[in-house]
Amino acid sequence: MAYTVIDKPSDYFTPTIYTGTGSSQSIDTGFAPDWVWIKKRSGTANNCLYDTIRGATKTLHSDVANGESTDAQLLTAFETDGFTVGTGANVNESSATFVSWNWKAGTAFTNDASATGVGSIDSAGSVNTDAGFSIVSWTGTGSNGTIAHGLGSVPKMIIIKDRSNTRNWQVYHVGYGNGGSGQLNLDAAFSGDGMFQSTDPTSSVFSVGTSVNANASSANIIAYCFAEVKGYSKFGSYVGNGSADGTFVYTGFKPAWVMMKASSASGNWGMFDNKRIGYNVKNYNFRADQNNAEGTDDAIDILSSGFKIRSTSGGFGGGSGTTYIYMCFAESPFTTSTGIPTTAR
């Protein structure tokens, strides 16, 4: 039995750290990224999100409900081995430190729903079926519908943003289920709202309802869709125990990036990676729903086969009896397809 189908996760996802220059500079990620999420570490700044479907200079912020904006001095170009940033302080302030999280899709697709019989709303985007990631764009209809995601397998997490209007981000997660959603820009608990028609995604489509937050008539909408890939990505839930000797979450790989959120209670969207500081217990945090500088709470250990909660804070995975959902990508599989084990940190 194969342990993984991806022996080198950094071909598809990688965190990258860099120092701002105040002048245009290229950032090397090792591949051509299709989704880039940039956060200033050394000071307050919005989370800045870019993708190749919307195009360079088109900014979304995960920590606010604002629609898409255009800024010619933030991320200015996608490159074959990374991306270029301009003079904008949010992504390249002189002497400031930054991190980018980078995902590869890469294969363009379009779906004419009436012609293919797949879904009911036309969609287009970019997909990587090997890595279980797609970026999907569509025009909202205001009516119940289904949208092709291109993955060929069932998405476990879908992040949606209305680009045209000031509206909250919407998140479907398998750990909460199809009965409601979370909001990436808020710390509120997940709630039952019918956002996804109380319908599980399939290997070909996901459902949206009449809510203006995910399907407003005539709005331009973007979604980031994730299927689980053995040894590379994992999406699930766990219950906190309120102890510094906290819950261990088995992923089957050594994580490069972890996001967690209390689904049954309020709490921030905590984010951790293997490049900033980079040793246990020093795994510094960010919050997807806030513009804070890098936090120094020692909230998790990154281990060879998963992660362990070290915080008693309800906001970082440790709330006693609180259910958390998580999203995780690999640095290396626990064991490669040829039987070589990963090393501990």
CATH 2.130.10 fits 107-112+119-227, yes or no: no
The one-letter amino acid at 62? S
| Nearest by Cα to 325 from 134, 202, 157 | 157
* Residue 341: predicted pLDDT: 60
Do the Cβ atoms of 4 and 11 come closer than 8 Å?
Answer: no
- Amino acid identity of residue 107, one-letter, is T
Please give the pLDDT value at position 335: 65
200 to each of 146, 207, 235, 238, how far by Cα in Å? 11, 8, 15, 20
Give the containing element (helix H, strand E) for 35.
Answer: strand 35-40
Q: How many CB atoms lie within 10 A of CB 129?
A: 15
Q: Give pLDDT, residue 311.
A: 87
For residues 130-151, one letter each, b for 16 or more C-beta atoms within 10 angstroms of the residue's C-beta and e for the rest, the string is ebbbbbbbbebbeeebbbbbbb
- Contacts of residue 267, Cβ cutoff 8 Å, sequence gap at least 6: 187, 189, 261, 314, 315, 316, 319, 322
* Helical ranges in the chain per DSSP H: 89-92, 113-116, 212-215
Euclidean distance between CA atoms 289 and 298, whole angstroms: 19
pLDDT for 4: 79
Instruction: Please tell me the pTM assigned to this model.
Output: 0.96
Sign of CA dihedral 191, 126, 156, 301: negative
DSSP state letter for 263: S
* Residue of 269, 285, 272, 267 whose CA lies nearest to 321: 267
In 3D, which of 42, 81, 73, 39 has the Cα closest to residue 56? 73
Q: What is the pLDDT of residue 332?
A: 85
Mean pLDDT, each 10-residue run in order, the chain (345 residues): 80 98 98 98 98 98 98 98 98 98 98 98 98 98 98 98 98 97 98 93 98 97 98 97 94 96 96 86 89 90 94 86 97 68 60
The ranges assigned to domains in the chain are 9-103, 107-112+119-227, 233-333
